[in-house]
Structure 1
Amino acid sequence: MYSKDELKNLKLEFWESFAAFCEVQPYLKGRRKIWTLYNTKVKGVELKFDATRDGAFVILEVNHRIEEERLEMFERLTWYKETLEKDFPEGLIWDICFVRDTGKQVARIYTEKRGIDFHRRGDWGMFFTFMASQMFLLERNFMSIAEYLRE
């Protein structure tokens, strides 16, 4: 088990190492900003990474505070399911009611790689490879439809 400070330092080292990994990936070179993440310009829609003891996750999250708006945006995203899932032969996981650790309900569309553990440094290479390649695809597919989702 890690102490609170050790876990904080491990997370910091993980994300710094991931950033360094991304900087040297040929398919990410020349981008003004490596990832869009919170700056999708679509209200209530964000792209996220998550690394846990259960695996790696690349996420498109709909987090409108108002449930009606959240559900409406999720439905609008389903109209573009084929575009979003392009390059994902296994498809994506569509979860209309995901409950975060904080108890907040959001909708998520994501891909995952299970069986790797963020606490094992030996797994970090698998995390980095999966997260960078999958976010590149998800972000590209999302940005191709983003203008149709803007209000």
Structure 2
Amino acid sequence: MYTQEEAKQIRKKFWTLFGDRCKLVPELRGRKKSWMLYDTKISGVDLKFEAGRNDASVILEVNHRSENRRLEVFEGIQKYKAIIENGFEGGLTWDFCYVRDSGAEVCRIYTSMKGVDIHRQNQWPDIYNFFIENMIRLENNFLAIRDVLKEEIRT
């Protein structure tokens, strides 16, 4: 078992090394930022990485504070499910009421890698490869619908 400080240092090292690993990815070279993440150009829509003690996930999250707006955006994205899921062999998980650890309710579309643990450094290369492969795909799929989605949800 790790102390809180040791666990914090492990997470910090994990994300630092992930950033270094991303610099080696040909698809990410020449970009100002490696990943879109919070800069989706749609308010309340973010792309995220999560790594924990049991799994790792690549996520498209709709986190608008207004529940009505959040569901409206989520439903707008659902119309383009075939495009968002393009290239994801098993599809994605669509959760319109995901509760974060903080208690906040959000909508999530994600893929997860089960059975990995951020505390096991020998698993980091597999997690990094999972993150990179799936986030590139999710970003590209999202970009394919972003402009149309922005127009549709503008009211």
- TM-score between both structures, scaled by the size of structure 2: 0.95
Structure 2 gaps of 5+ residues are none
- Residue 28 (structure 1) shift: 1.9
Counterparts of 2:36 and 2:26 in 1: how far apart (Å)? 18
For 1:107-122, what aligned pairs fall within 5 Å after superposition? Answer: 107-122=107-122
Partner of 2:50: 50
Partners of 2:144 and 2:52 in 1: CA distance: 29
Equivalent residue number for residue 124 of structure 1: 124
**Whole-Å separation in 1 of the counterparts to 2:23 and 2:133:** 13
What are the equivalent positions in structure 2 for 1:59-138 lying under 5 Å apart?
59-138=59-138
DSSP 3-state at the match of 2:97: strand
**3-state DSSP class of the match of 2:2?**
coil
* One-letter amino acid of the structure 2 residue matched with residue 39 of structure 1: D
Residue of structure 1 equivalent to 2:144: 144
Percent identity, aligned pairs only, is 47
Q: Which runs of 4+ in 1 moved over 2 A?
A: none
Q: CA deviation at 1:55?
A: 1.1
Distance 2:57 2:116 in 1: 11
1:56, CA displacement in angstroms?
0.9
Give the count of matched residue pairs: 151
> Any gaps of 5 or more consecutive residues in structure 1?
none
Alignment correspondent of 2:20: 20
Letter of the 2:70 counterpart: R
* SS of equivalent to 1:102: coil
Q: Deviations over 1:125-148 (max 9, x none)?
A: 111000011000001110111112
1:149 Cα shift?
A: 2.0
Query: Would you say 1:29 and 2:29 are equivalent positions?
Result: yes
Structure 2 distance, partners of 1:53, 1:7, is: 11
Superposition deviation, residue 30 in structure 1: 2.0
For residues 59 and 147 of structure 2, the distance between their equivalents in structure 1, rounded to whole angstroms, comes to 19
Deviations 1:4-33 (A, max 9, x none): 111111111000000011100122222221
Query: Deviation at 1:37?
Result: 0.1
